[in-house]
Amino acid sequence: MRLIVGISGASGVIMGYQMLKALKQLPDMEVHLIITEGAVKNFECETNIEISRLAELADFTHSNKNLAASISSGSFVTDGMIIIPASMKTVAGIASGFAENLLLRAADVCLKENRKVVLVPRELPLSRIHLRNIKECADNGCAIVPPMLTFYNGSNSLEQQIDHIIGKILMQFGIEYKKFVSWQGEDICRQ
């Protein structure tokens, strides 16, 4: 399987890092990574993770400025793309088809080739403009997986919450994630 992972400049870049770690554990998974300039800044502000560590988790890392990269063409076959987190600027670019950088171009290519694009939009609260753009992306084939808190599975830490989100994203590609705890029915509530 070959996936593109985009990390844009929204808060929550740690989710992108955790996604890369999860994908690295999967056999026969080829990961193409794009990190926007805003994401680099957010890694500096929100984490102690060196950007070079992300490149080690991917098979290929592409400059967001390189519109001639392999993943900018539909003839380079992938199984789809995950943008985690997806800034509202990125969502707006996808919604309008404004492919000014590689992250937006790769998403545009996946959509035109009918490949899965999963967006993990990160903003709070959402304005009507944000909601309109998210709906436009969904109407054009994107799966929208917002990083919402989940409590039914006993996720009591930030890491467990992120694992749940990663599990939900990977389900979109038919991939099982060992750290994902699914709903087991109401009997679990009575224990």
The pLDDT of residue 109 is 98
Question: Is the model more confident about 57 or about 183?
Answer: 57
17 labelled ligand-binding: no
168 labelled ligand-binding: yes
Identify the band that residue 90 occupies on the pLDDT scale cut at 50, 70 and 90. very high
90 labelled ligand-binding: yes
11 labelled ligand-binding: yes
The answer to whether residue 17 sits within a structural domain is yes
The pLDDT of residue 154 is 83
The pLDDT of residue 32 is 98
The pLDDT of residue 67 is 97
Q: What percent of the chain has pLDDT over 70?
A: 97
The answer to whether residue 30 sits within a structural domain is yes
87 labelled ligand-binding: yes
The answer to whether residue 22 sits within a structural domain is yes
The pLDDT of residue 30 is 98
The pLDDT of residue 191 is 52
The Cα–Cα gap between 117 and 129 comes to 20
The per-residue pLDDT for range 109-129, each reduced to its tens digit, is 999 999 999 999 999 999 999
The domain total for the chain is 1
Radius of gyration of the chain (CA): 16
47 labelled ligand-binding: no
The CATH number covering residue 116 comes to 3.40.50.1950
Q: By the 8 A CB rule, do 64 and 51 touch?
A: no
- pTM of the predicted model as reported, rounded to 2 decimal places: 0.95
The pLDDT of residue 22 is 98
Q: By the 8 A CB rule, do 85 and 11 touch?
A: yes
Q: Print the domain residue range for 3.
A: 1-150
The answer to whether residue 156 sits within a structural domain is no
